[in-house]
Structure 1
Amino acid sequence: MAFINIIEKYSIRALEEKMSKFSRTIIILTFLVNAVVFNSHSMQAKLPDVTAIPDNLIKQPRTFAQDVKLLTDSAEKISRLSASAFGKNSYLEIFSNKEKIFSQREVRTAYRFIYLFSRYINRLAKISEKYEKENKNNLIASTLDVTAKVVAAHAAADIMSYCKDKPRLHRILNEENKEFNLPAMTQENIVKHALRPSVIAQIYKFRISHYEEAAGIIKTHDNNQSNLIPNEIKSILLAQETFMKGIIKEVVKKSALRFLTRSVVTNTKEKLEKIKTMLLGITNTAYEMENGERSIKPEHASDFCNKLEPGDIILNRCENNFSNIVLRGFWIHSMLYIGSPEKAVKYFEKDEKVKSLCRKYNVNNFVELLEAHYPEAVKVWKTTDSLFGDGGDEPRQIIEAMPTGVIITSAPQALNADHAAAIRPKLRKIDKAKAIMRAFSYFAKKYDLCFDFTSEKNVVCTELVAKAYTSDVKSEGLDFQMENVYGLIMAIPSNIIAEKFSKEYKTEKQELDFVSFMRGSRKSKSVEYESLKSFLSSYKWDDGLKSKDAR
């Protein structure tokens, strides 16, 4: 039996058969507490706070009683956290099965979970490290050492089992996050450390040699040390008996423990590398046009943006762009219009909910609110854009994800294309303000060459727009459906936004309004404003290197 199957068979939720009445009571109370704390139908469930053992206590020399308290407290908390997170209809279950794009609030819930999980694991590791040094010929030290290792190993096995068929969740739990000070590969490193061969071997040896004595199951000729082992520790050992038996069976079958070196989560690196190789450098890598120019000129772009409001979504297309071969649909690129800082202040200044949000952070207007949260992005936003290096001064009005990363740029730079359209979310100004704030949170992030919308590490153009307009309990958003691309549910092509508008137009589901559509002509080397009717059908137009519907 593979180790992962052992874990599934002997999971935390299957321990009741062998537990003492005390242990059963603890588990029942744990589930009752979590039934109140966690709403299984809400992605916004709060995770338990770390309050029982202050961090400064861990860093200072501790007494034996404090170590026992720290161990039992950590074991209880990680058991409660695991039961709440890994159960049916849990917040992680809902998060993992969601086929729509994650909101930042939802992703933060996953980050907070792995932060707490790793924190409890680290506490257990500190206890184990302390008593491992006193382990030899000392049953009490050996018991505390191994008990901490068993609890950590069981928790690691549970998270390993839970993530094995949830690649989206696995990626999030292994991403670097500065807010929670999480290094990359946090979850995988927890599993590797807690289930390393030396630990499994130590648990195996303890189980066959000292378990009954340490747990108080049998009496020995020298029972003094056993009597000094606290009942709380004995209860933990009893609760872990089934798990330890599973380890014994596996070790007996595979004494070299080679099974621990295998990756539990399906390895998609080879697949993603093939995709990355194919997509590398395709965006904005254009074939030279006959005259080297695009249909939309700077004056067209400026006039186009005069019709827009902060929060509008812009779609564009460049003919003869290599990316047109790979990416599906007529519309290839998308971005978010934010306006100049002056225009943004004016647009939001009379909205009571935006004003209330500004007062909450003790700022005077929306731009100052953005500056309080994202100073580097606003610093760039307030500068002008030297158009194509010719010394022209253009205000920066658009935020977009490009191969150079997420940037804030001018309209002529962003709309250096052949076709462009703008659509307006039918949302309140406060929802648009929060969407712009989310977009600013991605400023300077790298471009996602794997087009993986489940990752927060890098972003692609449509991902920036879609994640900006995710909804949560405090704001409304837009409903974008992700598509299965290269066998992974992970992407929203830009053309889908135009298709969404067309299919929802004049229905109860309509979330977007038409604003403007510029259609370029290579023959006349100019653009014309097209009608709503023309834009409604544009998502069906011919794609490819050069669209047959391009004039």
Structure 2
Amino acid sequence: MSERPISEQSTGEQSTGEQSIGNVSVHGVDIAGARTVLTVADHMMHLRDAATHLQSIFDTRERGYFSPSEDEQVEHLWVSYHGSRTALLEIVQVIRNEVGKASREQIGEFTLAYAATLILVDAARSLRDRFGKNDLVRRKLNESFDDFRIPADSFDEIQLSLTDPGNALQIKNANEFYEQNQDYIRACAEDDKTFATVVEVIENLRDATDVGKRKYLKARVKELGRNTRDRVLLGNLNKAIYAILELGGRAVAHLSTKPEHVPALPAGIAHQIQELLQPGDVLVTRKEHAMSNYFLPGYWPHVAMYVGGQQVVESMKDGVRVREMSSPFGNDSVAVIRPALDEENIQQAIVRARSHVGKPYDFDFDFTRADRLVCTEVVYRSYEGLGEMQFSLVRRAGRQTVSAEDLLGLALEEQKFQTVAVYCCELSEELLLGDAMRQALRKTMGLASNEADGESA
């Protein structure tokens, strides 16, 4: 027997009308996750426009190859799509790890995961509609992009997921739950601004991603025959959440992730680093087994800028924010580099960094625009032009960029930055300084050992 709609269940709580409680909205939507969903939804529309433009070009070309500039455009679109897709899958994966017993509090988790899934499905179908029958583009998107860890045949794999019977059933379950409880969900949106923005994304995409009855029935017969579920799901909400999370699990199965892994520095290491930090320092970080390690170049993929007061300015999927040290210390490995500038210039850089707070994350990795920033662009725009600080941008996937390892490379060469310390969980249980630090950094970055660093490692 199915349970009553969520709106008829009682928890003894009343809505306060407040917009948020801590890091979640009144109705349980993770605020950072909601920001990410909205940013990615907007970026996927941008990618759709770019894909339409490319399609119009390729449809009028009879030659069977890309020019170098066209090749870069396709590569950039594909890398940008994968980065956005990974951000959404990470949201679903986090909810997958935290989900528990069905309750009204979980309505926010379902709504956020459902919105992320609809964006994923809509984007994949859009790519299929534009490029699925274009053999030239399809072959290109099925190439491996080793610098960004995109495997061969990834376009075909993503398109196959659209017709996978299991996926069709999961989406159908989620659609049915939303349909049954949409009055309650819309009521929640009336007194919860964050919730409302996520619901708006859902309403805009539901019709485009609905699974037809014939496909659903066919999928249901096949899925029931497989008998793959190994646990009983209680309650409509739990079923709906499980459907979304199962879909997300299928999507990331090929990535070498460990959902149970919780990245964090050892307390002693975190204390040592905190003692060494000076305002203006840059923390370069890495999480083991993280999906975000894919589609970003290098062993060290991320940076945050220390602004004093045990806070950093850091651009993550939810945008540029002032964050506590628990953010950079919530990693498995951290390196610290220091700008070669006087205190006056460093203070000016910190003022610049704070001026970017509130801007969205740039899934397009476009360093020519300042209204949305990736993590390294915060450092770039904070320091560029101060003293003798000049950066040479490197072209990657059709974009001029600065990567986290570009910054580390400058520090190792003692150009503009200097190395301070590194903790790398794969190489040592201690915080490394001096020659040992430089040798460790070179090893993680695949650089030849420098004899000037001495024999220690």
Tell me if TM exceeds 0.5: no
Give the TM-score, by structure 2 length. Answer: 0.42
Give the TM-score, by structure 1 length. Answer: 0.35
Larger Rg over CA atoms: 1
